[in-house]
Structure formats: structure tokens, C-alpha cells
Structure 1
Amino acid sequence: MRMSRVTGAALAILFLFPLAWSAYASVRTPQGFGLENYERLFTSDNGIRFEHVWNSIVVSGLTVGGTLFVATLGGYAFGRFNFPGKNALFLLTLAILMVPYATILIALYVLLGWLGLQDSLVGLSLVLIMFQLPFSIFMMRNAFEAIPKELEESALIDGCGSLAVLVRVLLHAVRPGLVTVSLFAFLTSWGEFFAPLILLNSTDKFTMMLAVVNMRTATFGAIDYPALEAGVTFMAIPCLLLFVVLQRSYVRGFMSGALRG
């Protein structure tokens, strides 16, 4: 037990050290410590502006909401109903994980153009939702399968339909799974770089990740590394806060969902 704790502490230090170093570098100035780097981050021409923050919030919100909606209904269907081709369809859904999404982004870019969603936050969110669904549906299917069927049967006897059972009874029971899916969807969409780079053309549609990366192409090649570290730290803060607040539900959802499969 003691050895496992030591190993866990060592791994935690190993993974947290780069973030801690970024936080330290973001407040380090030639005169000592201060917030000058964060001031340059939000005031320089290549820094983060309000629209970048808003765009990241919109994309993350749409991705989390869309992923939860589709994954909940899909997991409920796969976990509670029997229909022809159920296993084949589920395997086909999981097969998306084997496709490197970078290889089909150009095709998705063309498809979004046909749909009138090219260079839009909604189109970007739809792409991110699509690549979140295999893992999310897998998690939600296992979460629904872990619920005793007697709970659902008692609600059906009381006159509830399938949708009413889902909304009034089962959603509360699978809340840890919902938290896990939400957290993964948020972390992926908040820190995604490659998809916004390909799918967004207008600078006013850029997310914070693109804005931070653009700081590396400063005037005359002079990179403001302290401000860049401030951008990395600023983007990491919401992720850390969410993980700390939702840690207990996340662990419960991951254990009950992933290990059951």
C-alpha cells in the first residue's frame, strides 16, 4: 500500500511539474514576480482577446451539450433495448476510434461547406461531438447496464414510458457517467488545436488555443515566452477547477463505466 502511494505521488509530481513550471514562469518578471505577463497576454496584438475566450466557451458548451444528448440516448438504447443489428451498430460506432481524425478533416471541411457550416463554431462543435461519441456512448451504455433492471421495471409498472423512465429515474442513477462524459468532452474541446486550425478561417472565430499558438508568430520572430506561459496557465485553470470539483463523480463514473465493459 505504501509503495503504491509513493508511486502515485511520484507520477503526480511528474505530470504536474510542467504545469507548475508554466505557472511559475507566467508570474516571473525581470524585477521579481508580478502579473505583467498576463497584462501583455490580453493587451498585445497577438494575445488573447475577449472573442477568443467567448469562442472557446461556445465551442466547449456546444460540444459538451451535444455529446451528452446523443451519448445519453445512444447509451440508453444500447444498454436497455434489444433490436436487430444492435451489436454490429455498436461495434461500428466504436470503430470510429480507429480512424485518425486528422486524416478526414479535409473531407469534413468540404462536407461542412455543403451544409453551410464552414468556418463556423457550430460546424467545429459538430466535428468534435462526432469524435467524442464512441467513447461517450461506450461509457453511457455501461453506466445504464450497471443499473438494476428492477428499478426500471418498477417505474414502468407505475405507468412511466421509456422516455419518462430515462428522465425521471435513470438519469439520476447514471450521474457519475454523465459527469465523466462531460469532463472528457470539455477537456477535449477546450484544448483542441488541430480541428480549429483546419476548420476555422476567420480570426474573429479563433479559439483561445489558436490565439495562444499565434503568439509564437510574433513580430520579427521575437516570441514573448513569459506571456506564452501565461496563456498556457490561463487555459489550464478551468480544466483544473472542473477536475477538482468533479473528481469524486468522475472517478465513480469511470470505474463503474469503463471497468464493467
Structure 2
Amino acid sequence: MTTTLDAPARPETGDGTLERPPFRRKREPLPIAALWVIVCALIACLFLFPLVMVALTSVKTPAEAVASPPTVFPTQLSFDNFVHLWNAGSGLAVYLGNSLSVSLMTVVFTLVLSTLAGYGLARMPFKRRSLVFLLLLAPMMVPLQALLTPLYVTLLNLHLNDSLLGLAFVYTVSQVPFGTFVMRNAFAAIPAEIEEAAWVDGCGILGGAWRVSLRLVGPGIATVALFAFFTAWNEFLAALVLLSSDDRFTVPVLLQNLTTGKFGTIDWGMLQVGVLVTSIPCIAIFLLLQRYYVEGLLAGSVKS
């Protein structure tokens, strides 16, 4: 005679259904967890070390900044590099304002065009939609440096050469393909039934997109805005080629002009101060929006 072992009965909830057993996350063994923490700490130190060296070099005297062998910690604190950079040319505030103006215009133009294109490709059924999407992504395969000559001629014909607005248009052209890709995936990840419910309540297509869908694609918008801002803030070659007036230079162009001294020598102290000044806004913005940035990159990667 065979006997069977009955499984332990699960307690019932108030409505008569069986209570679901609690999910328990499998814990890693202690040595593996400790090794993982050590590896992550070493990688973090590897990325933080250049930033720490930039900060230390920025407060060294010019002689100590080019000393050989180099010193890690400054023997004498000096803030002359900050003063020289602030008073350079038309003033650092002017060049920071130029960089900020170009970056903000690029972000606004890129968001408007990418959002409209992404929504149309994700929601509007039309023939050859996939082909149009591929054509929009095609410019991503062409580096911006290869297009500088035709872009310069185009801006010259539009009387936008040597202007911050023209430079913002150039950066927008380079960012719209990637922005369209991100926004299309972000809109495609939203169930169409949500917009259809808004249409039933009286919203039109534009009303449903503005009041419903646009509020659900915040991570995608943050991702596109971050990429556009970082590109416009840090880009050097296009600004060097398309701008000729000293009072319209961006910060990267200013640093290139100021750090080169007699016989091609480099003022490392001033260069590190410039790197530090230009890095602070990028680091601050990324830390504030990193959660949305990761969500925006993963939008549409898994279908629900």
C-alpha cells in the first residue's frame, strides 16, 4: 500500500482565496557579496580619480602644475588660475552664457522635433512608416565632423553664420535622430487604450497626446534632454569652425585659445580649472535626472 504526503495547507484570505506565499529574494553568499562590493568600489575609484586630480591641479601654482615628476597634493594653495580664467577675454561669464544659451536652445528644439516625430511614428498608421523611421535614423551613421562644410555653407546662405542660433540648429540636426528613436520607443511602450479612453472623454488626438501620453513619457524626455544638453555644452569642433567672433565663443573654444602659451606650451592649471568649471553643471544635472535617464533608455525594450 502506498501513502501520499499532503502539501501543507496555505491559509485563506478574507475573500476565500488562498494567500500567496511571500517572495523571498535569494541571498548571495557573504564572500561573493563582499567581492562584488570591492569590485564596484575599485571601479568607482577608477572613475573618480581623474576628477580628483583635476580638482587638485586647479589649486596648484603654474610652476607646480607642470613640475616633473608631478606632485599629487599641492604644496601651496593658489587660486590664481580661477582669477585668470574668470577675467580671460570678454570674461568667463560671457562664455558661460553663450554655452548655456546654445545648450538650452538645442534642448528645446530637439525635444519639440523628437517628440512630434516619435509620437507620429508610434501612433500614426501610414504607409512606409518603418522606412521613414530608418531614414530618420540614417544620419546617426554620419559623424557631425563630416557635415561641417555643407552645414557652414547652409548657415552662410541663411545668414546664420557666426551666430549662437545657427550653432544650436547644427547641434539639433545631430541630436534629432537619437531623440526620435528614444521618444518613439517611449510612446510605443504606453498602451493605446489610455489615449482611446481620453478620446471617449472628449479629447482629440492632440489633446490626448498633450494631456495623457506626454505626461507618461517623462523618462524619455529627460533622456533626450540630457543627451542634447551634454552634446551642446561639451562640443568643440563645430563651435570652433562656425563661430568667429570672440564674444560668441563657447567655453570649450575659450579654453583652447587660452591654454596655449608661448612655443605651444599648455597652461595646465588654467586648463584644469576650465575642465572643473564645465564639469560641475553636467555632473549636477546628471545626478538629478539619472533615474529618469535609465528609465528612458529602457523604455520600450520589453513588451508588457
Q: TM-score range by the shorter chain?
A: over 0.9
Superposition TM-score, scaled by structure 2 size? 0.80
1:96-127, CA deviations, whole angstroms, 9 ceiling, x for partnerless residues? 11112211111110011111111111111111
Residue 257 of structure 2, aligned match among 191, 195, 214: 214
Amino-acid identity (%): 44
Mind listing any 5+ residue stretches in structure 2 that lack a counterpart? 1-27, 65-74
Q: TM-score, normalised by structure 1?
A: 0.92
CA–CA separation in structure 1 for the residues paired with 2:268 and 2:173 = 35
Q: Does 1:195 align with 2:238?
A: yes
Does the 8 A contact of 2:163 with 2:243 survive in 1? Answer: yes
Counterpart of 1:174, as a letter, is V
Structure 2 Cα separation of the partners of residues 105 and 201 of structure 1 = 15
1:75 Cα deviation from its structure 2 partner: 0.6
1:78 paired to 2:121: yes
In the TM superposition, what is the alpha-carbon distance from 1:14 to its structure 2 partner?
2.3
> Separation in 2 of the partners of 1:20 and 1:90?
43
1:176 touches 1:252 (CA, 8 Å); kept in 2? Answer: yes
Distance 1:224 1:196 in 2: 22
Summarize the alignment of residues 4-19 of structure 1 with structure 2, pairs less than 5 Å apart: 5-19=37-51
Q: Gaps (5+ residues) in structure 1? A: none
Look up the match of 1:153.
196
More divergent stretch after superposition (7-16 vs 63-72)? 7-16
Q: Does 1:106 align with 2:106?
A: no
Change (3 A) 1:86 1:7: farther
8 Å Cα contact 2:107/2:228 also seen in 1: yes
> How much is the aligned-residue C-alpha RMSD, in angstroms?
1.9
* Kept in 2: contact 1:75–1:144 (CA 8 A): yes
Decide whether the 8 Å contact of 1:48 with 1:208 is kept in 2. no
CA distance in 1, matches of 2:124, 2:45: 45
Q: Offset at 1:5?
A: 4.6
Deviation at 1:227, TM superposition (A): 1.3
Return the structure number with greater helix share: 1
CA distance in 2, matches of 1:5, 1:68: 38
**Equivalences for 1:114-153 in 2 at 5 Å?**
114-153=157-196
Note if contact 2:260-2:267 (Cα within 8 Å) is conserved in structure 1.
Answer: no
Alignment CA distance shift 1:133-1:7 (3 Å): farther
Matched, 1:87 2:130: yes
Aligned residues: 259
Cα distance in 1 for residues equivalent to 2:36 and 2:180: 32
Q: Compute the displacement of 1:33 (Å).
A: 2.4
Deviation per CA, 1:211-260, whole angstroms, max 9, x where unpaired?
Answer: 01112223554432111100000000000000111111111112225x35
Q: Deviations over 1:169-194 (max 9, x none)?
A: 11110001101110111011000001
The higher radius of gyration belongs to 2
